[in-house]
Amino acid sequence: MLFALREGDAVNEHSRPNQGAASSPEVRTEALEDLLIEKGLIDKARVDALIERFEHDLGPLVGAKLIARSWIDPEFKTRLLADADQVLQDEGIGGAEIEHVEVKANQPSIHNLVVCTLCSCYPWALLGLPPSWYKSSEYRARAVREPRSLLRQMGLDLSEEVEIRVWDSSSETRFLVLPERPAGSDNMDLEALASLVTRDAMIGVAKATNP
Amino acid sequence: MTGVDVLDGSPASPPRDNGEIVFEAPWQSRAFGVVISLVEDAFFSWEEFRTQLIVVIEEWDAQDDGDRPTWHYYECWLEALERVLQTRSHFKGRELDDLAAAYLDRPHNHDH
């Protein structure tokens, strides 16, 4: 069954990608971290702080605010599409140390979809960490091979006339989709507009939510 | 309920400050944080780690469906981390295996 495979369903030693020394990933991670601390390569408090940042400070609201602003401000939209890195720098959006970001705008005749076919590259600074399905082999394969059918299965039925452009992320470049502004949102302010921009819309597996 | 709800197993919630819970067990967040820390402190590059992660995922993808273990992204992540550390000689011989084995033998281990 498609997408039935989810990480974390049942953790046991047989599920390791390579059958090395048999031990659970919990224990192995604990041992690995302790060894690295002992060797002075990492500091526990710093790892705590990094996890905290990725889990709580970086999330899709960061990206959603950029999208909402570009709906309101055409000049900002032009800058975001031309040089997202500069915009992120100007806006003081951190966490982009290993990312070059490009923003791709949906149009009535063009729909953009983001995938990382080889692993799980993702615009962390703008969306936080990727959902589990983004990392699944099914999504990675089908996004390129049959994006229209994949999107339909995920609840987005695009007309045959709409061209789907699939952007394969890499360690050099991460992509963010700029979804179209939904009808009926004319009088909404930035904050209200941002609430229409879901993570899935910025990956390209959904449209922005209707108000 | 949208298709994404079904695929994701979680509600397709609107954006919020803290995003969503993306780690399904504490060890996954630890393995993640360790990699980011080591990359930020330049013990290895993100590209080096990613290259290894791609190899591990490819190995997983290449297995026949029947033999293929349940997909565990963060186990691939952990495996890639171990390989990079071995390649960089940060770990010597079997010291990681030995410590993990010692932890497993604890009378009241933390593996639950």
Could you give the number of structural domains in chain A? 2
Written as six digits, the tokens of A208 are 């922005």
Task: Tell me the CA distances in angstroms from A104 to A83, A124, A133, A149, A202, one per residue in order.
Answer: 11, 16, 21, 21, 9
A91 and A116 part of one domain: yes
Q: What is d(CA A62, CA A127) in angstroms, rounded to the nearest whole number?
A: 7
Quick one: A118 and A50 in the same domain? no
The whole-angstrom distance between B49's CA and the closest CA on chain A is 10
Residues 7-26 of B with CB under 8 A from A: 7-10, 12-26
B55 touching chain A per CB within 8 A: no
Please list the rounded mean pLDDT of every run of 10 residues in chain B (112 residues): 31 35 79 91 89 88 67 85 93 88 71 44
DSSP-derived secondary structure letter, A56: I
Please say if the pLDDT value at position A89 is more than 50: yes
Q: Which of A76, A145, A87 is nearest to A115 (CA)?
A: A145
Q: Residue A20 — left, alpha, or beta (φ > 0 → left; ψ -120 to 50 → alpha)?
A: beta
CB neighbour list of residue B89: distance below 8 Å, 6 or more residues apart: none
The answer to whether A103 and A175 are in contact (CB under 8 A) is yes
Please count the residue pairs, one from chain A and one from chain B, whose beta carbons lie less than 8 angstroms apart: 239
Of the partner residues A42, A54, A197, the one whose CB lies closest to the CB of residue B15 = A197
- Put simply, whether B88 touches A (Cβ < 8 Å) is no
The residue that leads in pLDDT, A48 or A16, is A48
**Domain match, A93 and A196 both:** yes
Amino acid present at A178: L
Whether B82 is in a domain gets the answer yes
8 Å CB contact of B104 and A130:
no
Range of the domain at A27: 22-55
- Among the listed residues A207, A196, A59, the one whose alpha carbon sits nearest the alpha carbon of residue B22: A59
Q: Is residue A126 part of a domain?
A: yes
Would you state the pLDDT for residue A94? 66
The predicted model scores a pTM of: 0.72
One domain, residues A40 and A100: no
Same domain for A161 and A82: yes
Give the C-alpha separation, A110 to B25, whole Å.
39
Q: Which of A25-39, A56-70, A95-109, A158-172 has the lowest mean pLDDT?
A: A95-109
CATH number assigned to the domain comprising residue A124: 3.90.330.10
B66 and chain A in contact, CB less than 8 A:
no
| Residue with the larger pLDDT of the pair B18 and A65 | A65
Which has more pLDDT, A96 or A199?
A199
ipTM (interface predicted TM): 0.76
C-alpha dist (Å) from residue B107 to A23, A209, B97, B102, B111: 15, 52, 18, 10, 11
Record the tokens describing residue A68, joined without a space: 């909402």
